[in-house]
Amino acid sequence: MCASSVCQKGPLVFYGKDGGVMISIKNLTKIYQNGSQSVKALDNISLHIKKGEIAGIIGYSGAGKSSLVRCLNMLEKPTAGTITIDNREITSLSDEELRVARREIAMVFQHFNLLSSRTVFGNVAFPLEIAGVPKREIKQRVEKLLSLVGLVDKAAVYPAQLSGGQKQRVGIARALANDPKVLLCDEATSALDPETTKSILKLLKDINCQLDLTILIITHEMKVITEICDTVAVLENGSIIEMGNVVDVFTRPQHPTTRAFVQTVINTEIPEPVRQHIGQGGDGKVIRISFIGDHTEKPVISRIVKKFDVDANILYGNIDHLQDTPFGGLIIKLTGQQDDIARAEEYLAGQGLQIEVITNEH
Amino acid sequence: MSIDLNFIVNHLIEISPELWKAAYQTTVMVGATMLFSVITGVPLGVLLVVTEKGGIMESPKFCSVLGTIVNVFRSIPFIILLIALFPLTRLLVGTTVGTAAATVPLVVGAAPFVARIVESSLKEVDKGVVEAAISMGAKPWQIITKVLLPEALPGIILGLTITTVTVIGYSAMAGVVGGGGLGDLAYRYGFQRFDEITTYAVVVILVVMVQLVQSLGNWLSKAVNKK
């Protein structure tokens, strides 16, 4: 069990965990052949996910996310490339070997996919029955799993009587039954309301901590990524367009699609009244200063006003938190001598801040 | 013609041993037919589903051959099947007359029907649930017995109810060729002796039988349906 203090630190977990690589995807390509038409769902994807990490893959529908996650347990056979999970190349296993390997690659589904003919207990027992676990052991194991997901009192109930969130808890308990090494979540919270999503994400995070389980989450919701993921890959048209640590990727998004995802949780657009004000012109240079982490605590504005002969008028500002890292932006209008302004800008850039010129009227 | 209630009652009492015997024969015939039809039809239906394209034991050629055979038997009118199967019946039962003999063509007629009904019920099972089972490493046999059949059970029961009602109808036809049962009784008394009262009594018994079967089927299907 890992210390809870580490788990709550968000991005630090990524660096703090020293496990090896759990999932290694190399040059994965998936082409769907439909008659004479072929669709390239995944285009030469390479990706590594470390042991104990919560990795997110985000993309719009049709980006290839589902194909990717389904290749990981061979529900889809890759057209080319290799997938290695825990040092085992699953793309080259026989049918029988694959069946055994699949017990360690558990999956949670968007629509839960529970057996309606079985009770909650029966659903969680199902993968154990398949694996040939003795009856008495199944009972103990199921009870333990149900208490882990907080559904002990629902053991005898049929899925039809459960709420969406409870169904997904059953789905998660079922996925954990055979002590998997990897948990694949295919849009696991997309059918749930925001409140329930939160509680399911918390459960996944707890499981990740308690069992040191590697989790791969496929989603189109930015909130899921920012809430629990350590790393993220942005998928578009079957290719990874950006990947890395969540804070790094989302505080400095390079690609328009990544920026669009960031927009859904953090407003980096300039509000209309401010934009109008800037548009009215007047003397001065309007710049945007973006900062991440420690920089938010430095009094840079008052310093440039003191150090250089410039005035700084703050037009707009915001600070947000991505996991536990604060970041934000300020839009200020600098007025004064042109070379004073230039030196002030230089100073700001020297502090490790990102400067972007919006208008420059003189 | 005025209705003589006295005569009707007396006649019914008179033929009641025959009626009961015929009803019993029909019940046995239909019961045995359903038993053997389920034993052969359910595996056929399962095979049709698991071997189809995209099924868990994909084998499209096998599936289309099997599908064709099923269709051939389903397209033969029962009355023709009844006569055409005389050699097979003689081979299996030793005679072509009697309740046991009538069961042979009834099974051959009903089993393909059961196969198609099981097939369509199994196709209703949520693909995602099957996929979940595959992702857990389930073998095809485990998927059939632990996922497909239990999940489709309410539909299969309703389908078997429909089949039973149809078989009750078929069994009356079997009676015409000496199979015994209610059809036989109605034919001998009602048609050959112009005994309308017996005909109507048979109809009433058949209606009650069908009602009972349908109610039982509905109740059972509902009882196993946890959706």
pLDDT exceeds 70 at position A198: yes
Distance between B215 CA and the closest CA of chain A, angstroms: 22
Average pLDDT over residues A68-89: 94
Residue B156: which domain range?
Answer: 5-224
Give the CB-side neighbour count of residue A281, counting CA atoms within 13 A.
Answer: 2
Instruction: Measure the CA–CA gap between B23 and B180, rounded to whole angstroms.
Output: 9
Residues of chain B with pLDDT > 70: what percent?
Answer: 99
The C-alpha atoms of residue B19 and residue A112 are separated, in whole angstroms, by: 55
Cβ–Cβ < 8 Å for A41, A32: yes
Tokens 């991440």 locate to A292
Dihedral angle over CA of A262, A267, A268, A270, nearest 10 = 150
The pLDDT, as a whole number, for residue A281 is 63
Question: What does the pLDDT average to over A239-261?
Answer: 89
Return the CA Rg of chain A: 25
pLDDT mean for each 10 residues of chain B (227 residues): 81 90 93 97 97 93 96 90 90 88 92 96 96 96 97 97 94 80 86 86 94 97 94
Cross-chain residue pair A113–B153, CB shorter than 8 Å: no
Q: What would the pLDDT profile of A154-164 be if each residue is shown by its tens digit?
A: 999 999 999 99
As a CATH number, domain A272-361 is 3.30.70.260
Least confident of A93-97, A277-281, A284-288, B222-226: A277-281
pLDDT number for residue A297: 66
Q: Name the residue facing B139 among A99, A101, A111 (closest C-beta).
A: A99
Total domains present in chain B: 1
Q: Where are the domains of chain A?
A: 5-263, 272-361
Give the pLDDT of residue A2: 47
Instruction: With a cut of 80, say whether residue A10 has pLDDT above it.
Output: no
Q: Residue A17: pLDDT above 60?
A: no
Residue B37: which of B179, B218, B160 has the closest Cα?
Answer: B160
Helix locations, A218-318, DSSP H: 222-228, 246-251, 256-265, 272-279, 300-307
Q: Is the pLDDT of residue A5 over 50?
A: no
Which CATH number goes with the domain that contains B155? 1.10.3720.10
Q: Does A114 touch chain B (CB under 8 A)?
A: yes
Tokens of B23: 């009803």
B136 touches chain A (CB under 8 A): yes
- What pLDDT was estimated at residue A296? 64
pLDDT band for position A205 (50/70/90)? very high
Phi, psi angles (nearest 5°) of residue B56: -75, -15
Sequence-distant (6+) residues with CB within 8 A of B42 are B114, B115, B118, B156
Question: Which residue has better confidence, A295 or B163?
Answer: B163
| B167–chain A nearest CA distance, Å | 29
Over residues A309-338, the pLDDT tens digits come to 888 888 888 877 777 788 778 888 888 888
Q: Which residue type sits at A82?
A: T
Measuring CA to CA, which residue among B151, B113, B94, B95 is closest to residue B36? Answer: B113
SS3 B4: coil
Range A5-263 has CATH code 3.40.50.300: yes
3-state secondary structure of A323: coil
Q: For residue A287, what pLDDT is reported?
A: 86
Measured in angstroms, the CA of B65 and the nearest CA of chain A are apart by 23
Q: Which of A62-76, A173-187, B63-77, B183-197 has the lowest mean pLDDT?
A: B183-197
- CA distances to A85, B66, B112 from B70, rounded to whole Å, are 45, 6, 5
Q: At what angle do helices B5-50 and B149-174 cross, to 10 degrees?
A: 140
Chain A residues within an 8 Å CB radius of B135: 73, 75, 102, 105-107
**Residue A200 pLDDT greater than 70, yes or no:** yes
- Tell me, what's the pLDDT at A4? 41
- Cβ–Cβ under 8 Å, residues A322 and A285: no
